[in-house]
Amino acid sequence: MNPATPATADTETRTPEELPAVVTRLFKGVLYAENDEKLWQSLLGLTSHVRDYVAVLGLDLVLDESEGYAFLRSKDDPDATLPRLIARRSLTFHVSLLLALLRRRMMEFDINSSEVRLIMTDQEIADMVSVFLPESSNEARVLDRLGTDIKKVVELGFLRKLKGQTDTYEVARILKAYLDAQWLEEFDARLADYRATLAGEPPAKVSEEG
């Protein structure tokens, strides 16, 4: 009898000691490689364990190693048989419009620039939004509320303030995971809806998974 066999089997089935810390951190929100390199490396080494663990809870692990982020998202559950552990957040029409335009700007940036970080100022964001306003809209009123919308997008984690610069932001690349290529294909149709809303129809709300 090989006395090492039981110990080896126990080692293979034992839960990795780093797993609880990694999963707990993911439940708190997005994990960025640049913010916590040690935990990020633990996640990369435990990816299959994390996927299996959260799958039991009705969750998917979204991991983009090249962009350096990871987060948990609820699995598709059309019959609503599972409780939601990741809350859905209701976004106002103006915030959803801003997110759409930021996503399109990132797509253009990736095509035309060799840089990795997309940096925008308050004024650049305002100029981007104003281009898509219909002529009949009250542009001044829409732009007046832009500051509130930007704060909300910062809170959601899609814009990050640059240190020491109150009016300059980095557009977080995780936005690509929330608004994917298929979504972008429908962008023109969505803009038509946005323009109709800005022209006077009641603002719509959309749901965004946290």
Dump pLDDT digits (tens) for 43-72.
Answer: 999 999 999 999 888 888 989 998 888 988
Distance CA 85, CA 210 (A): 10
Confidence at residue 94, expressed as pLDDT on a 0 to 100 scale: 79
Distance CA 128, CA 131 (A): 6
Q: 122 and 150 in contact (C-beta within 8 Å)?
A: yes
Confidence at residue 18, expressed as pLDDT on a 0 to 100 scale: 87
HSE-CB of 192 using CA atoms within 13 angstroms: 3
What residue has token string 């996503």?
103
Higher pLDDT, residue 96 or 90:
96
Distance CA 43, CA 23 (A): 9
Predicted TM-score (pTM) above 0.75:
no
Question: Does the pLDDT at position 89 exceed 50?
Answer: yes
